[in-house]
Chain A
């Protein structure tokens, strides 16, 4: 299993495109991404979405595994603080990932590689914007090589 499977695009075989793994919470952000689709908003196709029950389900090991298997950026999105379906889940996420992001930076990752965003079910356009923004940032940075397997 690799993020690289099936990313060749027609006509631009050699152009490098960043790959993003997005962990979206079932109750807000996944519905938000769904809304972006239903509303026919355009956002880059570089993102691979994984639905999780809550943003606090995202074990930091998931993030590292994504980087190992070829992700150039990881997006974790959940309900706004205070709006968690499980009441307190995203407060734990907020603490955990604030610290984890600092650990990643200390050990050589660019801060832009991990993004955490609060996206509610009504914020389809915000999800599209987030992905757009992230793809642009990652295009400037180039491929991620830290922790990458078989590089």
Chain B
């Protein structure tokens, strides 16, 4: 990972000196085994850039705040489609953006790592060995098998090498996907339940939702200027908004179904919503389910630049009599 980080810093310095105003990448996090988004505008800040298997964030959404500047942004393979999403919806001008793609051998699931190695971890270096990561500590080494420690979304990943980027950092990597991993296993299990138990399953999760809207804020497909759930209405009209501010299970249900439905056919599968959820709602189960249904019903989900639900075909299946 050291070579990649050095390569990345060199390229960032080059881009910044060639007229890029802002370089968005990853820096070392303040907690052990974490990274944070880093915004470099000056050459000396480039030395803080890193890349390692803790760089989980999808940085593409930050581009929205800098849509009028010349920006370079680091993307992994799973972040890359989010750029197309925002460009197709005319939030961004592709000409202003330099995409710095890093082939990615998978991201480590932080909780699993901390549970295994303890919270006071101090990692000096990480090496990608193909099917495993080697972590080096002050007192020795530890090998982590990817199959066991990768994030859920990385296990079935086939887009390790970002396509259509302007700069590629490092060599291509082979897909780390676990051939035995079945992303639809849990979805099928839920579908096999009777309706009442399915409702109970989701009530358990939606019931603890705080409606902090982190899943919406982080999502590259959720980019409306005014959200359906936060209409700017005066207080005396608050009763007319879609969800009240009070804690309520039906409103949580409403929010989650509509959030999922609004991104249906537009979700790029970066799984950021699930990662940022403070109460661990398995949002990707719904997103994946809807993506699979969209493809099954209407063909390739991305055929319309704005998503399958913005288009129609006379030949769509007519299941309603």
Interface size class of B (residues with CB under 8 A): 35 or more
Main secondary structure of the interface of B (DSSP, over half): helix
Complex contact B319–A98 (CB within 8 A): yes
Q: Which of B242, B253, B318, B320 has the most CB of A within 10 A?
A: B320
> Given A60-B261, A61-B228, A149-B248: A99 and B320 within 8 A (CB)?
no
Residue in A100, A102, A108 whose CB lies within 8 Å of B198: A108
For the complex formed, measure the closest distance between the CB of A29 and the CB atoms of chain B, giving whole angstroms: 12
Q: How far is the CA of A108 from the CA of B257 in the complex (A)?
A: 11
In the bound complex, residues from chain A placing their C-beta under 8 Å from that of B313 are 91
Complex contact B318–A65 (CB within 8 A): no
27 contacts between A and B (CB under 8 A): A61-B258, A68-B254, A82-B314, A92-B312, A94-B320, A95-B298, A95-B312, A96-B309, A97-B320, A98-B297, A98-B316, A98-B320, A99-B265, A99-B293, A102-B289, A103-B260, A103-B286, A103-B289, A106-B190, A108-B196, A108-B198, A108-B202, A117-B321, A146-B253, A147-B249, A147-B250, A147-B254
Q: What residues of chain B have their CB less than 8 Å away from a CB belonging to chain A?
A: 190-191, 195-196, 198-203, 228, 242, 248-251, 253-254, 257-258, 260-261, 264-265, 286, 289-290, 293-294, 297-298, 308-309, 311-314, 316-321
Q: Given A82-B314, A103-B260, A146-B199, 10 other A-B contacts at CB below 8 A?
A: A60-B258, A61-B258, A92-B312, A98-B320, A99-B265, A99-B293, A103-B261, A103-B290, A104-B257, A107-B199
Q: Which 6 A-B pairs have the closest CB atoms?
A: A108-B199, A91-B312, A116-B320, A108-B198, A68-B250, A146-B199
